[in-house]
Amino acid sequence: MGKIDGKRIFDLLFSLSGLILLAPLFFIVAVLIKLDSPGTVFFRQERVGKAFVPFTLYKFRTMTVAPRAAPMITSARDSRVTRVGRVLRALKIDELPQLFNVVKGDMSLVGPRPELEEFVGIFEHEYRRILQVRPGITDFAAIQFKDEEALLAGYDDVEDGYAREILPRKIACYMRYLEERSFFLDLKLILLTMVAIARGQTDRSSET
């Protein structure tokens, strides 16, 4: 018998339980997306996974169907984001379908965020180490850059700004996770993510 992977067992138990408990929310979100704009309920995009193996990442669709030449990175001022999409992004609900990726084994609950092939190629040397583990739904970078779209809105060329300034800082967060990773750190990051999302909603409410 092979060695029991405790992280994988935790991922499966947590993600399967989450999908069952969130099934009513998924249904409501699906209906709202279909009523708000034409297109599919889910957004699918190829990302680079562990050992550089590509996989299809799932999110709730938050944008209108875009032409192929549209930017790969989204900023807060992107006009393609739908009305329902803005709410889903603010609450991070659009990320929840990635629980399917966790069940499939493409991702973990906690780990470096999965990236597009174009950007992995720019930092291939760093990603040789980063992609020794499964990408995750959350990590240090996801918490630090929870308002990433607002930061990107300050760049005229969003993709260049992301590759030149944002992604290197995220990579530093990924390296930190690889150095410190443990079961208890994963639990801590999951809790901190929930707190960051809740605090973000409180901050937005106080501004209105």
Per-residue pLDDT of the chain (208 residues; tens, 9 = 90+): 445 688 999 999 999 999 999 999 999 999 999 999 999 999 999 999 999 999 999 999 999 876 555 567 776 677 889 999 999 998 999 999 999 999 999 999 999 999 999 999 999 999 999 999 999 999 999 999 988 888 888 888 889 999 999 999 999 999 999 999 999 999 999 999 999 888 766 555 555 4
Identify whether the C-beta of residue 85 lies closer than 8 Å to the C-beta of residue 26: no
Distances (CA, A) of 48 to 56, 106, 131, 136, 139: 9, 10, 8, 12, 17
Beta strand segments in 31-176, E: 42-48, 54-60, 108-110, 136-138
* Rounded (10°) angle between helices 6-21 and 23-36: 60
Q: Length of the chain, please?
A: 208
Residue 162: count other Cβ atoms within 10 Å of its Cβ: 23
CA distance 96 to 202: 20
Question: What's the confidence (pLDDT) of residue 206?
Answer: 53
Task: Please name the amino acid found at residue 141.
Answer: A
CA distance 134 to 151: 27
Instruction: Mention every residue, 6+ apart, whose C-beta is less than 8 A from residue 44.
Output: 56, 57, 58
* CB-count burial class (<10 Å; 0-12, 13-18, 19+) for 204: exposed
Residue 76: count other Cβ atoms within 10 Å of its Cβ: 15
Question: What's the confidence (pLDDT) of residue 1?
Answer: 44
CA distance 72 to 85: 16
CA distance 70 to 120: 19
The pairing of beta strand 108-110 with beta strand 136-138:
parallel
Question: What's the confidence (pLDDT) of residue 16?
Answer: 97
* Rounded (10°) angle between helices 23-36 and 83-91: 150
Bridge partner residues of 56 (DSSP): 46
Question: What's the confidence (pLDDT) of residue 66?
Answer: 60
Question: What's the confidence (pLDDT) of residue 147?
Answer: 86
Q: For residue 174, give the H/E element and its range.
A: helix 167-180
Question: What's the confidence (pLDDT) of residue 42?
Answer: 96
